[in-house]
A and B are shown apart, each in its own frame.
Chain A
Amino acid sequence: MGLLAELTYRCPLHCPYCSNPLNLAAYSDELTVEEWSRVLTEAHDLGVLQLHLSGGEPLQRRDLLAIVTRAHELGFYTNLITSALSLTAAKAEQLKRAGLDHIQISIQAADPVLSDGIAGTPSYLRKVAVARTVKALGFPLTLNVVLHRHNIDQVAAILALAEELAVERLELANAQYYGWALHNRTALLPTWEQLQRAESVVQAARVRLAKQMQIIYVIPDYYSRYPKPCMGGWGRQQLTVAPNGDVLPCPAAGQITALPVENVRQRSLAWIWDDSLMFNRFRGVDWMPEPCRSCPRQTIDFGGCRCQAFQLTGDAAVTDPVCYLSPDHGIVADAVRVVNSGIEALPELVYRS
């Protein structure tokens, strides 16, 4: 089991595809370090082994070191997901000593102009410098790039950078359309042609770099025939704790208005996991409507993403419209058609603020 601990939604970057909710202010009453310590202990007792410290930017928390120390005491494999901007060599060394296992650094593109443009702040050169520092300290490093229409043509250059940095893993994941990304969908969705080009570059690199680097490539689910197995199934392997203590089956689930959100300040993590309506509503296969109900893929993709179904149709209990069998698939097909229709004037990106 894995826990995504969103320590804060504060972030120095303004990426227009940020998966954080649009109403960031609602999460400003952040859990204290003592509260996180209790949450981690309860997560450990629940069987969680993998911990992802994320945000926002987790380094914005001054008590990050204490949280990492506690996580290490509990035996988690701890991964820091960071923009790297404020990660100094001294801080990285402290985190290493405290037991941090792995670091994941995001860049926004393969050159400073585009990368800084997308991040909405000068950051690229600093990020690359920090990546080198982190490698020199002996951390295993994942480089992560969210792909979209404006940077997907740089995949070859991104691969070259990853190779030069000698990262262990490279994640090339197309934006998923939640939060700010959904807001900017028409401007961000790549074209079919762009995707095919990127994919052939990635395939060649996988062969060439097989021994030294693991390359993860994720297409936008809008282009797949079947939906993604979101979170490995609702309430099955993953849970997310938001900065204010809300506990969710996935980071976007807070927006499903029909489900009451539980919080670690009121309830134990075990109760929320085992007994809450939020975690039980879409667990297993009994909730499924057709076409999922009679589909042999129901235990492969679990009906896709509940949050996406809710966002696109207003009903979280229908088949993910990404699936070509969904009666609502037209919504996704239309969005894809628009970006492939040769439009020149893309809508302006709205930056996270």
Chain B
Amino acid sequence: MSDIPLTARPRLASWARLQWDAIREKQVLLGPEGVLVLNATAAAILALCDGQRSVSAIITELNTQYNHAVEQDVLTFLNRLRQKRLMECDDQE
């Protein structure tokens, strides 16, 4: 699968579920394939994946929020989610 384009507007796959796990005190992303326990950065990225914002908009927004370059983190994480089929986007490829 090719890398996610900057113009894509990612959102969670319909069969994926994001929830708070009280045992681990972390957000977890659940799907048929398995479970991802999310760190703070991953949770912040996912919170912006609403199917409206583009990948580049997400990067810009997080760059401001975190005050450092997050581009690689965002791309790596989103590509991983796409490979695991936990993320969908209306591809502009």
Contacts and interface: CB of A to CB of B under 8 A. Distances in A.
Interface of A: 1-2, 44-45, 47, 49-50, 75, 77, 79, 101-102, 104, 138, 140, 142, 168-169, 210-211, 214
Nearest to B22: A75
Given A75-B19, A168-B32, A169-B32, 7 more contacts: A1-B35, A2-B34, A44-B23, A49-B35, A50-B35, A142-B32, A211-B91
B48 interface: no
A49 B21 contact: yes
Contacts of B91: 211
Interface in B20-36: 21, 23-24, 28, 30-35
A45 B21 CA distance: 10
A101 B35 contact: no
A102 B13 CA distance: 13
Contacts of B14: 138, 140
A142 B31 CA distance: 12
Given A45-B23, A102-B15, A50 B34 contact: yes
B53 interface: no
Contacts of A104: 32
Nearest to B30: A77
B1 interface: yes
Query: Counting chain A CB atoms within 10 Å of each CB, which of B1, B24, B91 scores highest?
Result: B1
Interface string B1-45: 100000000000011010101011000101111110000000000
Nearest to A49: B35
A47 B1 CA distance: 32
Contact of B28 (A2, A49, A79): A49
A75 B20 CA distance: 9
A140 B91 CA distance: 21
Given A49-B21, A214-B85, A168 B35 contact: no
A278 B23 CA distance: 25
B35 A77 contact: yes
Contacts of A2: 34-35
A78 B24 CA distance: 19
A168 B85 contact: yes
Given A101-B17, A168-B15, A210-B1, A79 B32 contact: yes
A102 B32 contact: yes
B1 A140 contact: no
B31 A77 contact: yes
Contacts of A79: 32
Nearest to A78: B30
Contacts of B30: 49-50, 77, 101
A343 B21 CA distance: 55
A140 B30 CA distance: 13
